[in-house]
């Protein structure tokens, strides 16, 4: 299957889940993430605001209010990171909720972990996103540890890999955390 077909298939699987099941998956994923030493010791993390039926991480923001949470904003073909403040969210590109341009920016050098929205992933750590390439462009120049966030139904045996595709360091699903060998 090509990436386009895989995206359609995985989106259909997620759409078929009830909102109650998606909510429970999100709660379980947040529990796995909050227990990670990388999260407990971090001062600043990068995350996202859920789109469609993605895993919702807002429980983490509330659970760790002392931490600085970075949220991306699409600017051209790039992701620009701002401090999460619920009152600053505006609807931006592709219907995504993102920080307003006036939201405080972040010094990425202070970040300890990037939580990456993931539609699917293979066991080598290659991620299937939505096809825009935003995260691949960002991760290509990002030395930070990355943890894909997806539903367990997103595990793939093999994923067609393009030269620009970036590997994740690990993935978290409602079933647990998997770190890939380096």
Dist. CA 131–CA 128, nearest whole Å: 8
Predicted structure pTM score: 0.94
Asked, for residue 82, whether it belongs to a domain, the answer is: no
Asked, for residue 89, whether it belongs to a domain, the answer is: no
Asked, for residue 97, whether it belongs to a domain, the answer is: no
Asked, for residue 28, whether it belongs to a domain, the answer is: yes
Tens of pLDDT, residues 152-169: 999 999 899 999 999 999
Instruction: Examine the pLDDT at 93 and tell me if it is beyond 80.
Output: no
- Whole domain around residue 166: which residue ranges? 3-71+114-132+140-179
Can you say whether residue 176 is alpha, beta or left, with left for phi > 0 and alpha for psi between -120 and 50 degrees?
A: left
Domains contained in the chain, number: 1
Asked, for residue 18, whether it belongs to a domain, the answer is: yes
Tens of pLDDT, residues 129-155: 988 899 999 999 999 999 999 999 999
pLDDT value, residue 9: 95
123, 155 contact by CB (below 8 A): yes
Tens of pLDDT, residues 5-35: 999 999 999 999 999 999 999 999 999 999 9
Q: How confident is the model at residue 62 (pLDDT cuts 50, 70, 90)?
A: very high
Instruction: Examine the pLDDT at 96 and tell me if it is beyond 80.
Output: yes
Percent pLDDT > 90 in the chain is 88
Asked, for residue 23, whether it belongs to a domain, the answer is: yes
Asked, for residue 37, whether it belongs to a domain, the answer is: yes
Q: Could you tell me the CATH number of the domain that includes residue 47?
A: 3.40.50.10420
Nearest to 49 by CA among 6, 101, 105, 88: 88
Mean pLDDT of 115-126: 96
Nearest to 145 by CA among 41, 25, 22: 41
Asked, for residue 163, whether it belongs to a domain, the answer is: yes
């Amino acid at each position: 299957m090509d990436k386009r077909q895989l995206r359609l298939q995985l989106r259909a699987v997620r759409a078929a889940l009830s909102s109650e099941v998606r909510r429970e998956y999100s709660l379980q994923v947040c529990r796995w993430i909050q227990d990670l030493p990388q999260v407990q010791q971090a001062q600043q993390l990068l995350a996202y605001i859920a789109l469609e039926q993605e895993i919702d991480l807002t429980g983490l923001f509330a659970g760790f209010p002392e931490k600085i949470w970075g949220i991306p904003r699409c600017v051209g073909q790039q992701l620009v990171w701002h401090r999460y403040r619920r009152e600053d969210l505006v609807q931006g590109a592709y219907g995504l909720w993102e920080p307003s341009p006036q939201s405080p920016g972040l010094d990425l050098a202070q970040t300890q972990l990037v939580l990456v929205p993931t539609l699917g992933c293979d066991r080598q750590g290659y991620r299937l996103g939505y096809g825009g390439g935003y995260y691949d462009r960002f991760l290509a120049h990002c030395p930070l540890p990355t943890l894909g966030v997806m539903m367990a139904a997103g595990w793939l045996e093999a994923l067609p890999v393009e030269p620009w595709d970036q590997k994740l360091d690990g993935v978290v699903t409602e079933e647990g955390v998997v770190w890939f060998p380096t």
